[in-house]
Structure 1
Amino acid sequence: MQSSDPRHFFETDAEQETRSRRAAKASNTYGSPIVLKSKLLAACLDPRAPSSAIFVAESAGCVRRVTLDDPPSTKETYRGPITPVSCVAVSGTTVFAGAWDKIIWSWDLATRAPGLKYAGHADFVKALAVARLRGRDVLISGGADKKILVWDAATGRRLHTMSDAVVNMMSVQDLLVDHHHDGGGEGDDEVVVISASSDPHIRRWRIREDGWEQLVEEDPAVPGAERRTILEHETTVYKLVLGPDGEGEELWSASGDGTAKCMSRLKNFGVEDTFAHGAHVRAVAVGGGWVITAGRDEDLRFWDRTSGELVFVVEGHYDEVTELLVLEGGERLCSVSIDGTVRTWPLQRAALAELVQSQQKVEVQEEETEGSDDKGNLLTLDEEAELAALMEDDE
C-alpha cells in the first residue's frame, strides 16, 4: 500500500515544524476562505463580473470559475488537462489555460465546451496574455522552454517564436500586454508585451503581423547608453503589473530577491520605489491607495503607496500565495494560494486596522493558553535530562 502522507517519509525538523504550523493555521477563517481541493497556481478576473468572480488554475488539471459573493460558487469547471494548469487568461468568449503537458487548452466561456489546443512549446506553459493585432485576437504564451510564442487565437496557427539571443532568457514567468506604450503604431497595428522570467531581466517586445523585435531603450543609469533589458532585480521576476488598472506610467514587479519594485516609464523604467517584503515575493497588486505584496511567507503586506511605509501585515493563508487581484471598484482584494483557498480582503484602512487588531488579540490569547499549559512543568531542560538519567540508573 502506497502513501502520500508526508509523516510516512523522512522529514527534517524544519519540515516537521512547518507542517505542524500550517496544520494549526489551516482552520483560520480570515478572508472568508473558499476552500478548493487542489493547489491554486494562478488566477485572473472574470471580465464578465470583474468585481465578484475570478478564474483559478488548479494543480488538479482544471480551470475553475469562483464567485466571491455570499454564497460563493465553485461549480463551473473547465476540464481536459491531466497535468497541473499553471496559467489562465480570458479573451472575448474564450478561456485559455497553459499546462504542464506543454499544451495551451481552450474552452467556450459560456458552455465550457473544449476548443482549440495550441501545441508548440517544448516544456511547461507558464504564462499567457491576450491582445488584438490587426483586427484579430492573438494569444501570447511563455514557457519553461525559454520561448515566447504568438498565436492566431481563431485558427491556432503560430505566428511568431520570440527568444533573446543576446541576453540569455530563462523560463518565462509572466507576460503583460502594455496598453500604454509609445511604440508609434496606429490602432492595433502592433502589440507591446512585457515579459518576466527566471533570470532577473525584464524584457519588452514589439509584435507586428510581419515580425517582432526586442525593444532597446536608454539606460537610466548611464545617460546616452542603451540597454536591451530592464535589470533592477537580483533573481527571478515572478509577476508584472501595470498600475493602476493596467494603465499609467508605472510598472510594478515582484521578485524572488524578496522585493517588489515600482519602475517609471518616464525614467526609462528606472526604479522609483522598492518594497522589501523579505521572503520570495510571488505577487504584487496596486489599488485603494495600497501596494500589496505576498509570496512564500504566506502573509499579505500592505504598503502605503504614497509614503512607502509598511502599514499592515495580514495573516490568513497557510502556504505560498501565488496571485493577488484587485477587484473592479477598488474596494476589495482577492488572493489565491497553494493552500487551496481563495480569500477576499477589504482595502479600506479602517477595515484593515480592525482585522489586524482582531488577529493580534487571537495571537495573544493563544500565547497565554500555551503559557498556562507550560506552567505544569516546573523542571528546566537540564533538570529533565538529569531526572531521566537517574531513572535509567534505577532500572
Structure 2
Amino acid sequence: MQSSDPRHFFETDAEIQTKERRAAKSSNRYGNPIQLKSKILAAVVDPWAPTSTILVAESAGAVRRVNVDAQGSATTVYRGPTAPVCCVAVGGPKLKTLFAGSWDKAVWSWHLDTKAPDRKYVGHSDFVKAVVCGRMAGKDYLISGGADKKIIVWDIESGARLHTLQDSVVNMLSVQDLVIDHASSTADEISLFSASSDPHIRRWKIRADGWEQLTEPDSLKPGAERRTIVEHETTVYKLALTHPNDEEEEVVDLWTSSGDGTAKCLSRLRDFAPADTFNHGDHVRAVAVTRAWVITGGRDENLKYWNRATGALYCTLEGHFDEVTDLVVLRGSNGEQRRVCSVSIDGTVRTWPLETAVLDALVEEQEKPDDEEDEEDKDAEKAGNLLSADEEAELAALMEDDD
C-alpha cells in the first residue's frame, strides 16, 4: 500500500524540528488570521474596496477575493486553472477584469464582479510569474513576465500579442516582478520596471508601435551609463513604488526586496542608487512602504518594521508559520488608520497595524512569557472568547487539506 504521509518517508532531524515548530506555532491568532485552503503565492489590493479587500493567488489553482473585515472570512473564488496561480492584477476597461498568471503558462481572466471567465492569453513557454495592467494611446494593455525570460505586452480587448521584450545584451533570467512607473509614464507610453532571478533591475519604455530598454546614468562613473540597475547580489523578488496619487510622496522612489537578505530604497534623484538598505537577515520576499514604515517579510516567517526616517529596526512581529510571500497596504478611510496585510505559504491572510500605539501594544503582547499567555488563554476560554469546538475542527480540516 502506498502512502502520501510525509512521516512515512525519510526526514532529517532539521526537517522534523521545522515541522514540529510550525505545527506548534500554527494556532497563534496574531494578525487575525484568515485560513485558506492552499498556499498563497501573491496578493494585490482590490481597487474597488481598497480599505478592506485583497485578491490572492492560490497554489490550488484559484484566485480568491478576501474581505479581511467580514465576519466568517467572506471570500469569492475565481476558478479555471488546474495549476498553481502565481500572480494577480486588475485592469481592463473600467478596472473590471481580473488577471491571473499560472504555472500552466497562461494568463487567465474573469469579470471581477460576475466571476464569468473571459479571455485566456497564451504565449509564454514557462510559468507566468508576474502580471500588471497599463493604458496607453487610449487602449488597455496587459503585461506579463515569465520563467521563460520573456515580458509580453498584450492588447486586452483583442488578445493579440503586441510586443515581446527581452534583454539582448545582459542575459535576463526568470522574471519575478513587474511594476509600472506612473511617475515617468505618459498618455502614449508605459514606463516599466522588471525584476528577475538575476540581480538586474531593468527599465523599459513601451509604446503601441514599439519598445526600448532604457539605460541609466552610472553614478560611480560620471558620463557613463549602465544598462541595468544592479544593487543586489542575487534574485530580486519584489518591486514597489508608493501610490502615484499619494500626496505624501514628493518623489516616488523604487523599493526592492531580494534573496540577498536585504530590502533597499533606490533613489530616483540619485539615478536609482541606494538611499537606504534594510538588513532583514534572510530571503526578503516582499516589501511594503508607508509614510512612517518600511515593512519586510520573507523566508524567516516574520514581519519587520523599519523606521523609514532613520532606517532603524523598530520591531519584529511573529504570526506566520511559513514563508511570507507578499505584503499589501490597505488604505484608510473615515479617519481609520491604514493597515498592512501579509500572505504566506502557510495559507493565512493576516492584518497588522500601522499606528504606533497599536503596534506597541501588539509587540508587548508578543513579548509576554509563555506561562503568562497560557493563563490568559485559559481565562479567555472560560469567558468563551476562543474558537468553538466546531471552529477548531474546521480549522484543523483546512490545515489537513493543505498537506
Structures share fold, TM-score greater than 0.5: yes
Residues 73-103 of structure 1, C-alpha deviations (whole Å, 9 max, x = no match): 3431100000000000011110000000000
Residue 241 of structure 1: aligned partner:
240
2:340 maps to a residue whose letter is: L
The corresponding residue for 1:90 is: 90
CA contact (8 A) 1:126 1:144 kept: yes
Question: Offset at 1:121?
Answer: 0.1
Residue 195 of structure 2: SS of its match in structure 1?
A: strand
Following the alignment from structure 1 to structure 2, what is the Cα–Cα distance between the partners of residues 134 and 142?
A: 22
The CA deviation string for residues 105-147 of structure 1, in whole angstroms up to 9 with x for no partner, is 0001111000000000000000001000111110000000000
Write out the 4+ residue segments of structure 1 that deviate beyond 6 Å after TM superposition: none
Query: C-alpha displacement at 1:244, in angstroms?
Result: 5.1
CA deviations on 1:1-39 (whole Å, 9 max, x unpaired) are 443322121111111111000000000000000000100
Residue in 2 that maps onto 1:346? 353
Aligned to 2:125: 122
C-alpha displacement of 1:222: 1.4
CA distance in 1, matches of 2:191, 2:44: 20
| Mapped partners of 2:364, 2:82: distance in 1 | 43
Most deviating of 350-359 and 254-263: 350-359
The 5 A counterparts of 1:67-106 are 67-91=67-91, 92-106=95-109
CA 246–273 in structure 1, closer or farther in 2 if over 3 Å, else same = farther
Residue 12 of structure 2 corresponds to: 12
Return 247-256 or 315-324, whichever deviates more. Answer: 247-256
Does 2:341 align with 1:334? yes
- Determine what percentage of the aligned residue pairs are the same residue: 64
Q: Which residue of 2 aligns with 1:390?
A: none
Question: In 2 relative to 1, CA 121–246 (structure 1 residues): closer, same or farther, beyond 3 Å?
Answer: farther
**Does the CA contact (< 8 Å) of 2:33 and 2:348 recur in 1?**
yes
2:211 is the counterpart of 1:212: yes
The aligned counterpart of 2:134 is 131
Give the structure 2 partner of residue 228 of structure 1.
Answer: 227
Instruction: Output the CA distance in 1 between the equivalents of 2:56 and 2:131.
Output: 13
Q: TM-score, normalization: structure 2?
A: 0.88
Give 1:173's aligned residue: 176
In the other structure, the counterpart of 1:323 is 326
Cross-structure match for 2:23? 23
* Match 2:253 to one of 250, 253, 257: 250
Kept after mapping to 2: 8 A contact 1:66/1:72: no
Q: Distance in 2 between matches of 1:174 and 1:72?
A: 32
After superposition, the CA RMSD in angstroms is 1.6
SS in 1 for 2:368: helix
**What SS does the corresponding residue of 1:69 show, helix, strand or coil?**
coil
Does structure 2 retain, via aligned residues, the 8 Å contact 1:150–1:161?
A: yes
| Residue range with higher mean Cα deviation, 323-332 or 79-88 | 323-332
For 2:114 and 2:142, the matched residues in 1 are separated by 21
1:356 is matched with 363
Alpha carbons 1:150, 1:159 under 8 Å: kept: yes
Distance (Å, rounded) in 2 between the aligned partners of 1:24 and 1:240:
33
Secondary structure of the residue aligned to 1:24 is: helix
Name the amino acid aligned to 1:352.
L
Contact 2:343 2:350 in 1 (8 A): yes
Aligned residues: 364
Q: Which amino acid aligns with 1:331?
A: R
- Check conservation: 1:102, 1:120, Cα contact below 8 A: yes
Could you tell me which residue of structure 2 aligns to residue 42 of structure 1?
A: 42
Matches within 5 A, 1:347-386: 347-363=354-370, 365=372
> Counterpart of 1:73 in 2: which secondary structure?
coil
Alpha-carbon contact 2:67-2:75 (below 8 Å) kept: no
Which residues of structure 1 form unaligned runs of 5+?
369-395
CA distance in 1, matches of 2:77, 2:15: 33
Aligned partner of 1:285: which letter? A
State the match for 1:371 in structure 2.
Answer: none
Corresponding residue number in structure 1 for 2:386: none
TM-score (norm 1): 0.89
RCO higher in structure (CA 8 A, sep ≥6): 2
Choose 217-226 or 114-123, whichever is displaced more.
217-226
Mapped partners of 2:274, 2:245: distance in 1: 18
Distance 2:52 2:283 in 1: 28
1:382 alignment partner in structure 2: none
Amino acid at match of 1:217: E
- Indicate conservation of the 8 Å contact 1:288/1:348, yes or no: no
Between the aligned partners of 1:167 and 1:363, the Cα distance in structure 2 is 52
8 Å contact 1:239–1:253 — kept in the other structure? Answer: yes
Tell me by how many angstroms 1:362 deviates: 4.1
Matched residue type, 1:345: W
Look up the match of 2:60: 60
Deviations 1:257-301 (A, max 9, x none): 000000111110010000000000000001150000000000000
Question: Structure 2 CA distance, aligned partners of 1:102 and 1:10?
Answer: 33
Contact 1:37 1:340 (C-alpha < 8 Å) held by counterparts = yes
